[in-house]
Amino acid sequence: GGGGGGGAGGGGQLAGSPQAEAEVIALRIVRRLMELSNQERSDWRYNLQLATFDEALLLCGCVVEILRREDSLVEVPLPCRVYGDIHGQLLDLLEFFNAFAWPDKRRGDIWSMSYVFLGDFVDRGAYSCDVVLLLFSLKFLYPRKVFLVRGNHEDRLMNINYGFHESCTRKFAAEGEFIWERMNDVFEFLPIAALVDSTILCIHGGIGDCIDTLDDLRGIPKPIQVVGEINSSTTRQDRIILHALWSDPTDNDQVLGVHSSPRGKNTCRFGPDRVQDFNRRNGLKLIIRAHECVQHGYEYFASGQLLTVFSATNYCNEHNNDGAMVILVRDEWTGEVKEHAQVIKSGAVDTSYGWNDQQFRAPSPMRRADGSHETVVRGAGVDAGPPGGWAFGSAPGS
């Protein structure tokens, strides 16, 4: 089979091989969470342990071999579900799986459906390490059905501060540091974009000011490092990676061109004219991106040519936002690809303890359909970056 576990991805594994062992571990993690998702949450709030240190390392080693073979722009077939930021909010992710479908062969639609997760799996939420174990398990079991795309938080410079590092050390004690390093090693092999049915680009942040063609996103050698700052020696490829992970659309469809970003000088905001030009030039119908919290879990831009999707509700317990996932299907009458948002309403289920109490920095303002950004007034304010004046320090990372 196409590397990785049995499942939809390929044939069974040789007994006794690391892959066979990883398949057992991955399946156990998925089924355990499936079971727990139907139980009283308080029973496992503080003591969830999905894998041992050795099992987590083995899973990382097997998943990285699958990712190594994928292009930096990975091709995905229809139909497809696209998830936005999860940010360690395992409770919301399990709600989505229970409400709509699990990427599982026993209780889901994995044989007939692809899944794309658009990055920011970690940080801010209380279950970062568990979300990674779940997503790595799914990737291993179904390597040609589940696609993990990198977000700006799948980066040591970010996730040492925003909660993932602490999640690993809390879960694995003295060995947590090593798990954190190893998982970050795997993140460097993630694709930075996915192309669904050759017509829909899925990317965490956006096209910035330097991504002009799909070929700009293809063939980037792995491991992919994210540079700390843009300066005179920064290569075009390094800029492309930064903008793919960090850029945002402008405030609304009236703001054209390219503008500076409140996230700092290493990225930018791009207008609807850039989106429409990019889509036309590359034969695309739509760009789907994540990276910003939106009120209804999904929000259009550029006259419907770009869609932001965010899959965690009540972001950091600061915003009362819904969470959404987008399903892409081919209309059987017209042959056109259609997108539909599937939403979990804010407060439908109390998942408030899925967020960390303390945040390294206030969450980014919510993107508003009217083009304004909600301001969050907090005592702490938005503080400066980590020591060393790291260039993204001037703005919070969504």
DSSP letter assigned to residue 42: G
DSSP letter assigned to residue 82: E
User: Annotated catalytic, 153?
Assistant: yes
The answer to whether 118 touches 196, Cβ cutoff 8 Å, is: no
Query: Residues 153, 165, 204, 243: which is the catalytic one?
Result: 153
In whole angstroms, what is the distance from residue 391 CA to residue 230 CA? 8
In whole angstroms, what is the distance from residue 316 CA to residue 46 CA? 18
In whole angstroms, what is the distance from residue 122 CA to residue 180 CA? 11
* Residues 6+ positions from 144 with CB-CB distance below 8 Å: 2, 8, 9, 10
In whole angstroms, what is the distance from residue 283 CA to residue 280 CA? 5
In whole angstroms, what is the distance from residue 191 CA to residue 188 CA? 8
Classify strands 73-76 and 258-261 as parallel, antiparallel or unpaired. unpaired
Count the Cβ atoms, other than its own, within 10 Å of residue 285.
18
Residues taking part in catalysis: 153
